[in-house]
Structure 1
Amino acid sequence: MSDEAYSGLRRPPTRAARHGAIQQALSNSAITSQQQLATVLATQGIEVTQATLSRDLDEMHASKQRQPDGSFAYVVPESTVSGEFSKVRPMPDDEDDAEHGAEHSTLNRAEQQLSRTLTGLVTSVATAQNLVVIHTPSGAAQYVASVLDRQSIQGVVGTIAGDDTVMAIAVDAETAQDKAEWFLLLASGGESSHMSSKQQG
């Protein structure tokens, strides 16, 4: 199912989320330059410098390959797309480490643990009625779902996981919107407004 089918798809400001957006852009369009890629990312609210974009493409082992029309476009090797999630570092970008560390200090212990897991393993969050749809790198969804299941999150009755997508089933659409916002904040390493009541170990 495409991202357009979801309501309010948003990405946390992490390297993993940015890589997910780049992967999606390269899969959906013939991207022939970094400038074009930066423009595509900007339409999703992801502002990135050329230096960061070059680093991302290098980390993803992206290269230019000849297309059927003779042009050259960026592609990501299949081994990278389907690689093990354990290779993804569950942490914010290096340049944001200090900021996120300060924010983590405002979270309770359960939320800090959940935030450490989600940061780097959540590439986007959206809702579809009473479902919270959480995208992850390939292979990470079942791990993320198992972590959420262990948290006994109020208002979430369970999760279903595939390869790169987790569906957290909320009791109603309003709760799903609330939890989607909360998951996004935790995945961003940010302060949650739900600190006091939602998680029990």
Structure 2
Amino acid sequence: MSKKKDRFQEIGRLIASEKIHTQEGLLENLSKNGYDVTQATLSRDLKEIGVAKVPDNEMGYVYVMPNSISQASKHMSMVNLPVESVIWVEFTHSFAVLKTHSGFASSVAMFIDHAKMPEIIGTLAGDDTILVINRDNYARKDILAALRRLFPGLKEH
């Protein structure tokens, strides 16, 4: 097995076995287990693997593996976290901008991405703002309707 594959497996094992909320914490655990990598390499690894961060009552946000994301999304939708976190939407050209409560944009963006709506290509998230990239063939009203299916009562800004 290659060093990269070994490292990916170790990252998965660490994330599955304990709550890790920072790259520094993950780097420290990797180092203890003989994997000395830079923060930049770890960041690329996490992106390539598809690791995401989800809300956690104890630690704020923790890393989860891609196979755990759908489980996390189901949990989030059960507690209405994404629905209650969105404040408003505003449109410009081929984009929609969603405003969320501070710290929730990443989780809401993940929720939108995993809904796999044909009207939406993808999202980019900051702390409290999400850029929703719309497909060209859909009008603003179509995008608003799609977002309202996920976030009933969503208001335009």
TM normalised by structure 2 equals: 0.43
- Greater fraction strand: 2
Answer 1 or 2: higher relative contact order, Cα 8 Å, separation at least 6.
1
TM normalised by structure 1 equals: 0.34
